Structure 1
Amino acid sequence: MRRRMRILLISDYFPPYVVGGAEISAYNLAIGLSKLGHDVSVLTRVPEKTEFSGDFTVYTVRFKKKESILHYRLHTGILSSLSMSRGLADLLRKEDFDVIHAHNWISACSVMHVRRRMKIPPSILSIRDYRYFCPSLYGWCLVQSPKIKCNLIKTVMCAYRYSSASVLTKVAGIIPYALLRDSSRKMLEESLEAFDAYITNSNFVRKVVLNNLNLDNVYTVYNSVDTEKFNIGSGGDENGIKILYAGRFDTGKGVEYLIGAIPEVIREHDCIFVFVGGGALRKWAENLARKAGGSRVVFEGFVPYERINRYYQLCDIVVVPSVWPEPFGRSVIEAMACGKPVVATRVGGIPEIVEDGRTGLLIEPANSKEIANAINTLVDRVKRKKMGKLARKVVERKYNIEVITGKVLEVYEKFLR
C-alpha cells in the first residue's frame, strides 16, 4: 500500500486558464492524485478573478491578463519566474511537502531560484518540448539529427525561416528576438540542475533529452486524457463525413498539406472539412482552404478547451498533419478517446500513440497526396468504426488518468526521503 503524500504541483497556467497542454496534464494529475487519497496543492499563475474546481488546494500568483500574454510572447520566463519564485518560497516556509513537481518552464526557473536560497523537497520536472536546448522551441534540427547544435547565427536563421510573423516584423526584430531566445534557452538549461528527476511525455523526447543534455533519472510517462469528458458520445455520419483539424494555425502544424488534400477528397466523396483553433496563420489558412473546398470548408475559430470534446464527438475522422517533431500529440489521444480514427504524420512521439492500420493511419509529413489517400481509405464506414472502437479501448487501457497517475507516483517514490 502506498503512503499518503503531500504533493506540490507547480504549473505556469492552470484550468480554466488554458494556454497549452502542460496545464491540462497538471490538472489531470491533480485530479488523479487526489482520488488516490494524496494531499495535493497547486501553485500557479493566473489572471485576476479566476475560479478553480477540484478536490485540491490552489495557491495563486495573480497578474493582469494583458501582462500574462506579453510575458508568454517574450518567452524569457525571467519576470514571470521571479514572481512565481517569491510565491513558492513563501509557500514552502508555511507548508511541508514530500515532493515538488514542476510542469513548465516558468515553474522550472522558479524552483531554481528558490533552491539557491533554501532547502526544498525532492523535485521533479516534466520536460514536454525542446525549449531547454532549442532556442526556436520547435526542434526543427531533430528532423535530420537527434542532436541539436545551435548558436546565435543558427537561431537567427531558424527564427526567420519558421516564425509565422510577417516579413517586415522579422526583418525589424529578428536579431533581438534571436538574442532573447538564446539567452532564455541558456537560463532554462541552467534551471535543470535544480531537479532530482525528469519526466518526458514520450520516448522520442526522452531520447532527444539524453542526446542533448547531461541528465540522469529521465523517465517517460505519457500524457493522460480525461476519458469521462472525452468519450464516444453521439455524432458523425450526418450530412456528409466530417474531417476535423483541431489545433493551432502556425508554422509546423502542417495545415497547408491538409488543405492541399481537400480537392482530391471532395472530388470523390461527400466530405466536410472542419477547422478549429486560433493562431497567427488562421486567416491565411482560411483563405487557402476556401479556395480549395468552397462550401465544403468550415472554420470555427478558437474554441475553449472545455468545449473541444464535442467537436471530436461530432466528426468522423481527425487529421493531425504536423511537420515539426511533435513531442507527444495531445489531440491524437483526445480524438482516440472519442472513438475516432486518426490520420497522423510519422513525426516526433506520434508513432508511439497511433497503431498504424489499427487505431489510425500514419503517413509521411508534408504530403497532401498521402493525406488524401488516408482520408479516402477511412471514408469506408466499417473500417473507420472498427479503428475508432479499438482506439477508444487503447486509450482506456494506456492513457486514462488513473493509469498515468500511477506511473507518475512510481517516479515520485524513487526519490522520497
Structure 2
Amino acid sequence: MKILLVNKYHYVKGGSETYHFGLAKLLESHGHKVIYFAMADERNMPCEQSGYFSENVDFNASLGAAGKLKAGLHALYSTDAKKKIARLIEDEKPDLVHINLVHRHLTLSILDAVKKYNLPVVHTVHDANSICLNHAMMVDGEICDRCVREHSYDYALKHNCVKGSKLQTYLALFEAKNYARMKSYDKIDCYICPSKFYKDELELSGITHSPVIHLTNFLPEDTRYAAASDVRDYFLYFGRLSFEKGVMTLVKAYEAGGFENPLYLVGTGPLENELKEYVSSRNLDGRVKFKGFQSGDALKKYISQAKCVILPSEWHENCPYSIMEAQAVGKPVIVSRIGGLPELVKDGESGFFCEPFNANSLCESMRRLNTLDGGEYRKMSQCAVENAKAMYDSEEYYKKLTTLYNKLIGKR
C-alpha cells in the first residue's frame, strides 16, 4: 500500500508527532510506501514531498489587522492546503489518507480534495479539536464538556471560553458551524481514538455518522519491555510545566507529605517561574529539583532510574506516551482519575490513582508507593511491564490498523 500521512507539523513537537512518525516507521518496516503532507516550516525533517507542503501560518506572531484577517480566514478553510494536497495526490496516487493534527493550519479543506479522488480517510484523534471550541475541554481552570453533552455552544459563548476572548470564541464557533454545514466530519471514513474516553466523547458529540473505534497507541518495534535494574529513590514528573498538567498540585502534595526522597521535574513551560517561586518560598529547593528540558538518552535515563513516574493531570488526557514509556521499563505510575489515564493503569497493581485537583489524594498515593516493601515494589514493577507489553505492542497495532486500511480500500 501507499499511505499518505497528514499532520500539520513535520517535526517532533509532541505526542501526536511521536505517533505520526512512529506510524510511518512501522508501516515502512512492513514494506508499505509512506508519503507526507504538512505545513512548511524551517524545523521540518527532510522530506521528498516538502515541495507540496502548504504555506506556513503562525497564529502566535504579531500581526496587523490585515494579517489577522488573513490568518483567521485561513484557519476556517485553507484553499492553499486544499490545492497543494490535491497536486500531491494527483502525482503520487496514494491508496489511503491517514490524518492526524490538521485543524487551523491545514484545516479540513483537505478532505474536499481527498474525496475528489475517492480515497478513504482515517483520522487518529489526538485531542479535542473536533468537539470543543477551545480544544481543551476546560473553562476558567475547570473541566468542562457541556458543549459535548448538551449539543450546544451556549455555555462556551457565555464564558468566552477561547482564551477569554469573545471574538476568538465566535470565530471558533463559526469554524465549528461551517464544518457542520459542509458535513466535513462525515467525509472521514473512520476515526481512531487512542482512549475509550475520547471515543465516548466523540460519539456523544454527534458530529459524525462515521464509525469510531478505539485503538490504544503503540510503542516502537524495538522497545525492550523489561524493568530497569538501576532504580534510584526519586519521584519523577516529565513533560510540560503547565497548569493543566497538575504540576503545582504535585509540588503541594510533595510538600504536604514531607517526603525525604526528592522530586524531579523534567521539562519547561509557562508555569515554570511560578513553580520555582513557590518551591523557594516553601524552602523546598533542596528536595524539588528542576532538571529543564531533556530528550533522547538523557530523558530515558531519568525515567529508567526513577522510583515512580507521576502524571497528576487536571484535564482530559488521551493516551500519553509518558505513561506508556514509563511502564515499559517497569515504573509504577501515579495518575489522576481523569480522561483516558485510568485506562492505562491497574490501580494497586501497576500503579495508583489519585483524584485530580486534590493534593491530599495525590499525597496519599505517593505515600502508598513509598511504603511498598522490596517484594511489593518488584511485583508492581513487573505488572507495569506486563501491562505495557499487552497494551502497546506495535505488531498488534499494525495488524488491527492494516485490517482497517484494507477494509476501507476494498469498499472503493
Contact 2:227 2:385 in 1 (8 A): no
Contact 1:143 1:325 in 2 (8 A): no
CA distance in 1, matches of 2:368, 2:80: 52
Match of 1:255 among 234, 247, 267: 247
Letter in 1 for 2:212: V
Contact 2:235 2:308 in 1 (8 A): yes
Q: Match for residue 126 of structure 2? A: 128
TM-score, normalisation: structure 1: 0.83
- Secondary structure of the equivalent of 1:159? coil
Letter in 1 for 2:322: S
In the superposition, relative to structure 1, how do residues 336 and 46 fare at CA in structure 2: closer, same or farther (>3 Å)? farther
Structure 1 regions of 5+ residues with no counterpart?
A: 164-169
- Deviation for aligned residue 1:149: 4.1
Q: Match for residue 27 of structure 2? A: 33
Letter in 2 for 1:384: Y
CA distance in 2, matches of 1:384, 1:274: 20
Segment of structure 1 superposing worse, 43-52 or 242-251:
43-52
In the superposition, relative to structure 1, how do residues 212 and 35 fare at CA in structure 2: closer, same or farther (>3 Å)? same
- The C-alpha deviation readout for 1:292-318, integer Å capped at 9, x for no partner, is 422111112333467533321232111
CA distance in 1, matches of 2:297, 2:79: 30
- Superposed, 1:198-209 pairs within 5 Å as 198-209=191-202
**Identity in percent:** 24
Q: Match for residue 321 of structure 1? A: 312
CA distance in 1, matches of 2:78, 2:168: 19
Letter in 2 for 1:310: K
Letter in 2 for 1:22: S
CA distance in 2, matches of 1:236, 1:70: 45
CA distance in 2, matches of 1:101, 1:206: 18
The answer to whether structure 1 residue 196 and structure 2 residue 195 are counterparts is: no
Contact 1:8 1:101 in 2 (8 A): yes
Match of 2:85 among 83, 88, 92: 88
Structure 2 regions of 5+ residues with no counterpart?
A: 63-67
- Secondary structure of the equivalent of 1:147? helix
CA distance in 2, matches of 1:356, 1:310: 25
Match of 2:379 among 376, 386, 398: 386
The answer to whether structure 1 residue 345 and structure 2 residue 336 are counterparts is: yes
- Secondary structure of the equivalent of 1:332? helix
Root mean square deviation, CA, Å: 3.2
In the superposition, relative to structure 1, how do residues 7 and 63 fare at CA in structure 2: closer, same or farther (>3 Å)? closer
Contact 2:218 2:394 in 1 (8 A): yes
In the superposition, relative to structure 1, how do residues 102 and 257 fare at CA in structure 2: closer, same or farther (>3 Å)? same
Match of 1:359 among 327, 350, 354: 350
In the superposition, relative to structure 1, how do residues 158 and 375 fare at CA in structure 2: closer, same or farther (>3 Å)? farther
Match of 2:293 among 302, 307, 314: 302
Q: Match for residue 388 of structure 2? A: 395
TM-score, normalisation: structure 2: 0.84
Q: Match for residue 65 of structure 2? A: none
- Secondary structure of the equivalent of 2:36? strand
The answer to whether structure 1 residue 100 and structure 2 residue 100 are counterparts is: no
- Deviation for aligned residue 1:258: 0.7
